[in-house]
Structure 1
C-alpha cells in the first residue's frame, strides 16, 4: 500500500443508489452470518460429528457449482438489481424453513442440508449479479473507494453477525432464524429501491459458447487467472473457520458466545484493512501485497492450529481476516477493471466459482481432513499447504507476483 494522501474515503456514500445497495449488503450479510453460526452449532450439537460440519459447506457448494455459469449469463442478460433482490428473498425463505425445522424438534439433520441446497442456489445467482452491479452504481473515479467500502461493510456484518448469532443462540436457534429472516426482508426492500445505471446487456443468444465466455476471457488474462486461482487453492486448504464450532467446544472448551467471537475476529481484521484501503488504496507493488496477504493468511491458520489459548486464537483469526482482505481487494479490482460490462456477469461468475470453491468446498475438505487426522492436525496442515500454494503460485505466475500497478487502472468502459 503506497503512502499517499487520503482519496475518496466515505464520499461515495453521497450516492443514494450505492448507499441503498450497501445497506442491503450489510443487512443481508449480517443475517446470513447469524444463520451460519446457528446452523454450525445446531448441527454439531445434534450429531457431534465433524464430518457433518464439512457437509454444511458441501450442501451449499454443490448447487452453486452447477448453477454459477448460468447465473453469470443471467447477470449479463437480465436486470442485476432484480436478480439480487430475488435472491435475498429466497434467503429469507431459507431462514423461515430453518425456523420450521427447529420448531419441529427433529434430531435428523438431512433437512438442514436440503435447505442449504436452496441457499446455495440463491447464492449462485446472487454473487455474479452483486459483483457486476457495482460498476453500474458508481462512476469510474469512485470505483476503488466503492469496492473498499463495500468490502468493509461486508466484513462489519461478518464481525457483528456471528457475535449476535452466538448471543441470540443462548435463547435458542429459533431466535436467530426469526431475526435473520426479518433482516433479509428489509434487505430485499432496500435493494428494490436502488436505481442502477443501464447496463450493457449481452445481445448474444444463449448457447454453450456464450455460457463459457467468462472462462475463456479469464484464461486469456494470466494476471486475472493467477489471482483468482491463488485464492481458490490457498483458502481451499486453509478453511479452518468451518471447524470453529468443534474448535471452540473441544479445544477451547467454550460455548456458542465464544464461537460468535471467534467467527467475528476475521471480519474485524478484514474490516479494519478495508477501511484503510478506502482512504489509502494500494497503487504500487500490487503483486507483493497480494502474495503477502495470502502468506499472512497461511501463517495465521498455522498459529490457530497450534494454540489452545482463546486470546491467541482471536489474534490469529484477526490476522487471517486482514491478510484475506488484501488479496480479495486486489482480485476484485483486477476482475472489474479488466472486464467489459457486457460480459462482467459471466466473468464475475467465474470469479465466484473460485471464491465458492475455496469457501464451501474448503469447508468440506476441512471436515474430511479433521475426521481423518484430528481437528488440530487438520488446521495446521491446511495452513502449511496454503503457504506452499503461495510459494508455488509466485513461481508459476511471475507476471502477477512482480506486478507493480493495476493494469488499465481507471480506464472507462
Structure 2
C-alpha cells in the first residue's frame, strides 16, 4: 500500500504540529514582554545605552544554560524517551509563565526576577530543542520529511507572527494577561505531546561510556563538513545580523511606536518567514539548495542594513519581512540537510549542537547587539551587524565548498557515504 505523501496524513505529526504552534506562540509572547519589561524598568533609572545593555544580559541569561547543558541534553534526547523530555521541558515553561503572571498581577516584577525566569526558560529550551528536533523525522517517512520541515516551520513562524503581536497587545491591556495566556497555551502543548505514541528508538553505537557518547555528537558535527558548514553559517550570520534584540530600542526611542508597535516589528520577520515556509510546503526546494542558502544569508544581511537605517515604520516592517523570508530559506535548507544527513541514533546529540549554535546566534546575538549598542549606539550596531552577515555568506561559500556543491536533499544511500573530514583527507 502506497504511503501518504502529505505530513498531515499522519496522526502523530498533527499533534506534534499543534504542540509546536502553541508552544511558539506562548514562548514569543513571553519573550517580547520580558524584553519590553526589562528595558522599561531599566529606563526608569538608566539612560538609553545602559538600558539597552540590560537586553544584552537577558540574552546571556537565556544562552548560558544551553551552553552549559548541551552535551547532557543531546545525550538525554538519544537515551531517554524523547516525548518525555519534551513534556518535562513544557511543564517547566508552564511554571515560568505562571510565575510571571502572578508577579505581574501583584506588581512585583523586578529585573532580577526577569533574569531568573529567562535563565529557567533557557534550561527548558536546552532540553526541548534536541528532543523535538529528533522526534519529527520519526513521525513521517524520509521522502515526506522536507515538506514536514516546511510545515513545522510554518507552525514556528506562524507562532512568531501571532506571539509577539499577541504579547504586545495583551500587555497593553494588562501586564499579567500575556503570561496567563502563555500558561494556557503551554498546557495545551503538553496535552498534545501526551498524545504522541511511542517512537522507534535505536541503541547508541560506539562506546558505552556516557561521557564518550556525549562527545561523539561534537565529533560527528566537526567531521561532517556539510553539517558543520550549515550550522556554523547560521551561527555567525545571525550572531552578527541579529537586529531583533534592538527592537525595543527602535520601538521606544527610534521609531517611537510604543509597545503595540513593538509587537508589529517582532511579527514582521515572522510574516516573511511564514509566507516563505508556506510556499515551500507546496513547492519544496529541489535543486542547488546550498547556493540558495548562501544567497539567502547575504539577503538577510542586506535587509538588516536597510532596517537599521530606516526611520519610517512601513519601510522598517518591509525590511524585517524580507529579513525573515531570507532567514526561512536558510533555516529550511539547513534543517533538511541536518535531519536527512544524520543517522537517527545520533540526531539528539547533533540536534543539541545545532540548538547550541542556533541559540548562540539568537541569545548571544542579542547580547552582542546590546553590548555593541551600549558602545556605539543601536543604529550603528544594527547596520554593522548586517554588513557582517553579508561578509559571512561570502566567506562560507569559500571555506565550505560542500555547501555550494549541495544540489538536493537526497539522503545518502548509506551513512558511510557522508563526506567526513577524515575521508576527504
Superposition TM-score, scaled by structure 1 size? 0.95
After superposition, residues 368-379 of structure 1 pair within 5 angstroms as 368-379=371-382
Contact kept, 8 Å, 2:100 with 2:109, in 1: the verdict is no
Contact kept, 8 Å, 1:94 with 1:118, in 2: the verdict is yes
Contact kept, 8 Å, 2:75 with 2:214, in 1: the verdict is yes
Kindly report structure 1 stretches of 4+ aligned residues shifted beyond 4 Å: 409-413
Contact kept, 8 Å, 2:10 with 2:140, in 1: the verdict is yes
How many angstroms apart in 1 are the aligned matches of 2:161 and 2:413?
Answer: 31
SS for the counterpart of 1:173 is: coil
How many angstroms apart in 1 are the aligned matches of 2:411 and 2:189?
Answer: 34
1:148 pairs, out of 147, 150, 158, with: 150
2:116 pairs, out of 114, 117, 141, with: 114
How many angstroms apart in 2 are the aligned matches of 1:184 and 1:201?
Answer: 31
How many angstroms apart in 2 are the aligned matches of 1:157 and 1:134?
Answer: 18
2:98 pairs, out of 78, 96, 110, with: 96
Matching of residue 291 in structure 1 with residue 286 in structure 2: no
Q: 1:288 Cα deviation (Å)?
A: 1.4
How many angstroms apart in 2 are the aligned matches of 1:234 and 1:65?
Answer: 19
The 1:394–1:165 alpha-carbon spacing in structure 2 relative to 1, beyond 3 Å, is same
1:29 pairs, out of 20, 24, 27, with: 24
How many angstroms apart in 2 are the aligned matches of 1:410 and 1:157?
Answer: 36
Q: Deviations over 1:321-357 (max 9, x none)?
A: 1010111111111111111111110011111111010
How many residue pairs are counted as aligned between the two chains?
406
Q: In the alignment, what sits opposite 2:420? A: none
Q: In the alignment, what sits opposite 2:48? A: none
SS for the counterpart of 1:212 is: helix
Q: In the alignment, what sits opposite 2:325? A: 322
How many angstroms apart in 1 are the aligned matches of 2:19 and 2:281?
Answer: 20
Q: In the alignment, what sits opposite 2:78? A: 76
Contact kept, 8 Å, 2:241 with 2:304, in 1: the verdict is yes
How many angstroms apart in 1 are the aligned matches of 2:61 and 2:5?
Answer: 38
Contact kept, 8 Å, 1:78 with 1:201, in 2: the verdict is no
RMSD: 1.8
How many angstroms apart in 2 are the aligned matches of 1:340 and 1:378?
Answer: 40
How many angstroms apart in 1 are the aligned matches of 2:203 and 2:128?
Answer: 17
SS for the counterpart of 1:282 is: coil
Contact kept, 8 Å, 1:336 with 1:344, in 2: the verdict is yes
Q: 1:103 Cα deviation (Å)?
A: 3.2
The 1:366–1:9 alpha-carbon spacing in structure 2 relative to 1, beyond 3 Å, is farther
Q: 1:185 Cα deviation (Å)?
A: 0.6
Q: In the alignment, what sits opposite 1:175? A: 177
How many angstroms apart in 1 are the aligned matches of 2:116 and 2:175?
Answer: 18
Q: 1:173 Cα deviation (Å)?
A: 2.1
SS for the counterpart of 1:405 is: coil
Structure 2: runs of 5+ lacking an equivalent: 44-50, 417-425
Matching of residue 342 in structure 1 with residue 337 in structure 2: no
The 1:371–1:266 alpha-carbon spacing in structure 2 relative to 1, beyond 3 Å, is same
How many angstroms apart in 2 are the aligned matches of 1:35 and 1:304?
Answer: 24
Q: Deviations over 1:209-262 (max 9, x none)?
A: 211111111111111111110100000011110110111111111111111111
How many angstroms apart in 2 are the aligned matches of 1:196 and 1:372?
Answer: 51
Contact kept, 8 Å, 2:103 with 2:109, in 1: the verdict is no
Contact kept, 8 Å, 2:242 with 2:365, in 1: the verdict is yes
Superposition TM-score, scaled by structure 2 size? 0.92
Contact kept, 8 Å, 2:343 with 2:415, in 1: the verdict is no
Contact kept, 8 Å, 2:237 with 2:388, in 1: the verdict is yes
SS for the counterpart of 2:173 is: coil
Q: 1:405 Cα deviation (Å)?
A: 2.3
How many angstroms apart in 2 are the aligned matches of 1:411 and 1:180?
Answer: 43
Q: 1:125 Cα deviation (Å)?
A: 0.4
Contact kept, 8 Å, 2:203 with 2:345, in 1: the verdict is yes
After superposition, residues 153-168 of structure 1 pair within 5 angstroms as 153-168=155-170
1:43 pairs, out of 38, 44, 47, with: 38
SS for the counterpart of 1:170 is: helix
Q: 1:208 Cα deviation (Å)?
A: 2.4
After superposition, residues 352-371 of structure 1 pair within 5 angstroms as 352-371=355-374
How many angstroms apart in 1 are the aligned matches of 2:210 and 2:142?
Answer: 31
Q: In the alignment, what sits opposite 1:4? A: none
Contact kept, 8 Å, 1:9 with 1:279, in 2: the verdict is no
1:389 pairs, out of 387, 392, 395, with: 392
Contact kept, 8 Å, 2:22 with 2:188, in 1: the verdict is yes
Q: 1:11 Cα deviation (Å)?
A: 2.7
Q: In the alignment, what sits opposite 2:199? A: 197
Contact kept, 8 Å, 1:202 with 1:343, in 2: the verdict is yes
How many angstroms apart in 1 are the aligned matches of 2:117 and 2:251?
Answer: 25
Q: 1:107 Cα deviation (Å)?
A: 6.1
Structure 1: runs of 5+ lacking an equivalent: 1-7
Contact kept, 8 Å, 1:141 with 1:410, in 2: the verdict is no
Greater shift after overlay, 392-401 or 26-35?
Answer: 392-401
